[in-house]
Amino acid sequence: MSNLAEQFINPQMGQPQFQGGALAQASASREMEEVKGQIFMAKQFPRNVFQAEQRVLDTCKRPALAQTAMYSYPKGGTKVTGPSIRLAEAIAQNWGNLSYGIQELEQRNGESVAKAFCWDLETNVRQEKVFTVKHAIGTKKGLKQLTDPRDIYEKVANDGARRLRSCILGVIPGDIVDKAVLQCTETLAGNSKGPLKDRIASMLKGFKDHYRVTQEMVETKFGYNADSFSEYDYVELLNIANSLKDGMSKVEDWFPKDDAKNQSSGLGEAFKDERKTEVKPDAPNDIPVEQPELPLE
């Protein structure tokens, strides 16, 4: 009896190979059909470039998106800024006929191999980045190994977000991205709700509560008092906050620890000996409000 006949007669001998091969072939065939369907629909309903551009700009007029549209971080003594992953996703959603995302290809030896991609189904322009993510995060005590599947998933998604942003921005025309960034800046400068002093005061409170960055540390970085901050300074604070939130930079990159020590060393005495000027929500743009003395806790 031939080996082929024995495989059909004895299930334990031949069924696993045939079944595994059939499943792989069926999966590949299904994915191929899905891709063909996406390309067919993109060709049948091509994007209207002018309408797509207008949709992008209209989306950038939303204050909630404009506040998270940019990131910034210091590098080599200069400041690097650019569109955030949130803005890139918003542009892709309104540009249309794009296939983009992050795929985990495999896990092995405490690391994941993943792929970020963006594919314009109309023009067949594709950006793809394959990268490796270690199942570990840095802590004050060193590297901490991740074993929870959810933690691993979040680590891969977080590292993949930057690659995905790069892929999307590599496919979308550059002038569309520039117009979107400009519209977000105009939205923050002209259409933000609430007085500037209220928003700056709220921003300073957020820095203090979440990152232990005091008003004095912020003023030291900018070189002048917070009551003199303009809309552009507010936008820069937003960019710094987004950078810290997304993990693009650390607090020490913007506010060195030495400055924090110098600012905090005489803080108690300042409260005891003299009044302190702070930005308050109800203060006019050019007049600081004098705060009464507060007892130290």
- Looking at every residue in the chain, the average pLDDT score rounds to 79
Taking alpha carbons only, the member of 23, 89, 85 closest to residue 56 is 89
Tell me whether residue 22 is exposed, middle or buried, using C-beta atoms within 10 angstroms of its C-beta: 0 to 12, 13 to 18, 19 or more.
Answer: exposed
pLDDT of res. 4: 43
Structure-token match 């203060």, residue found: 283
What is the arithmetic mean of pLDDT over 68-81? 80
Structure-token match 């003594």, residue found: 77
In terms of pLDDT, which residue wins out, 40 or 216? 216
pTM above 0.75, yes or no: no
In terms of pLDDT, which residue wins out, 179 or 35? 179
In this predicted model, what pLDDT tens digit does every residue of 184-230 receive, in sequence order?
988 888 755 567 788 888 889 999 988 888 889 888 888 888 888 88
State what percent of residues in the chain have pLDDT above 90.
Answer: 30
Give the domain ranges of the chain.
18-47, 49-184, 194-290
State what percent of residues in the chain have pLDDT above 70.
Answer: 77
